[in-house]
Amino acid sequence: MSIVLDQSTVLVTGANRGLGKAFTEALVAAGATVYAGARDPGSVTTPGATPVRLDVSDDASVAELAARLGDVTVVVNNAGIGRSGSLLSTPSLDGFREELETNTLGPLRTTRAFAPVLAANGGGAIVNVLSALSWATSPTLAGYSASKAAAWSLTNVTRGELRDQGTLVVGVHVGFLDTDMAADVEGPKLAPAELVRQVLEALQQGEEEVLGDDTSRFVKSVLSGPPAHLVV
């Protein structure tokens, strides 16, 4: 299962800024037809992409778009949020609920809605943007990492369930990216365009996983070791 980019019609979620914008720009440059999904379509600035309204935390928004965009062959589940703080001592779990709605149920919603569209168009691909924090965690990023761990599990479920319809499912893991989400983070951050380059290569090669940087490669390498190695 490999993807020919200039014959693809791609929906990118969270396409207006950060990594989603980098996906949108690179896919347009590669000759793909691109629907740029955003809560505010007016905030999409990439020439050549078609802005579409999409809130991945809203069942109706996702279902309405899937009913309208019958030509989609690739879905890039990129939209995400991060709320920091301890899950054990925070006064409310509302931030964690938001992370689950967006980071876990969001890609699941789009997958459920667009899987029949992809099947009708020959299989195509789903890209799920996960994180090194799908595997490692820290007390202050607990909700985010739990939401991405669940999204990783759902990525594996999706890969198995859609195998027979010929859909390639790509899980993308990375440490920190140089975007708004990690604006307060000090230390190495990968350029969004570099991660996108790797993901587009994986799609063309039919590869199911992208480990975008040293952090994600290191975290995956210690998964078989003591659990304490997964808490930073």
Ligand X SMILES: NC(=O)c1ccc[n+]([C@@H]2O[C@H](COP(=O)([O-])OP(=O)(O)OC[C@H]3O[C@@H](n4cnc5c(N)ncnc54)[C@H](OP(=O)(O)O)[C@@H]3O)[C@@H](O)[C@H]2O)c1
* Nearest CB to ligand X, comparing residues 17 and 112: 17
Contact flag: residue 39 with ligand X (CB under 6 A): yes
Q: How many CB atoms lie within 10 A of CB 194?
A: 15
Here the contacts of 219-225 (C-beta below 8 Å, separation 24 or greater) are: 219/132, 219/135, 219/136, 219/173, 219/175, 220/135, 220/173, 223/135
Contact flag: residue 36 with ligand X (CB under 6 A): no
Contact flag: residue 99 with ligand X (CB under 6 A): no
Whether 208 and 159 have beta carbons less than 8 Å apart is answered as yes
Which of 12, 19, 105, 136 lies at the binding interface for ligand X (CB under 6 A)? 19
Residue 21 annotated as catalytic: no
Instruction: Please state whether beta strands 50-53 and 125-129 pair in parallel, antiparallel, or not at all (unpaired).
Output: unpaired
Sole window of 44-52, 117-125, 152-160, 173-181 interacting with ligand X (rule: CB under 6 A):
173-181
Residue 144 annotated as catalytic: yes
Which of 51, 80, 124, 143 lies at the binding interface for ligand X (CB under 6 A)? 80
* Nearest CB to ligand X, comparing residues 7 and 28: 28
85's CB contacts (< 8 A; 6+ apart) are 95, 140, 142, 143
Say how many residues make up the chain.
232
Which of 8, 24, 102, 110 lies at the binding interface for ligand X (CB under 6 A)? 102
Q: What is the footprint of ligand X within residues 129-148 (CB under 6 A)? A: 129, 131
Q: Which residues form the catalytic set? A: 144, 148
